[in-house]
Amino acid sequence: MFKHISKSEFIGAFRDHGREDSFSYEAFSMLYNYFVNMEDDMGTPIELDVVAIDCEYSELEFDEIVSYHGVDVEDMDEDEIEEEVTEFLCNNTMVVGVTSSTIVYLSF
């Protein structure tokens, strides 16, 4: 039996599991919309698994991704770095969205 939940219930589930610091509010909103859209596209409800989402998705700053994944951004300005990192992630995994200072993606 499944129940449609609101964005605040989605975020509250992370708080209830002690994982409220896993993502920014902006990232939680993106993830909520991502899963709602996925349900609509598939026509099938998705079970909320807070631990799985926390383990499978990441929110990092662009420079952290450069460091972790060795993205070559030598001699690039900030806008070029963001573009290069976004392209790198799009080519290697699924990007959920970009916040004002981070990117949310399926970890790999």
Q: What is the pLDDT of residues 8-35, one digit of tens each?
A: 999 999 999 999 999 999 999 999 999 9
What six digits make up the tokens of 96? 């959920």
Residue 40 makes CB contacts below 8 A (sequence gap 6+) with none
- Which pLDDT score, from 0 to 100, does residue 4 have? 86
* Residue % of the chain over a pLDDT of 90: 94
pLDDT tens per residue, range 50-74: 999 999 999 999 999 999 999 999 9
Burial of 31 (0-12, 13-18, 19+ CB in 10 A): buried
- Which pLDDT score, from 0 to 100, does residue 104 have? 98
Instruction: Quote the crossing angle between the two packed helices 62-69 and 78-92, to the nearest 10°.
Output: 60
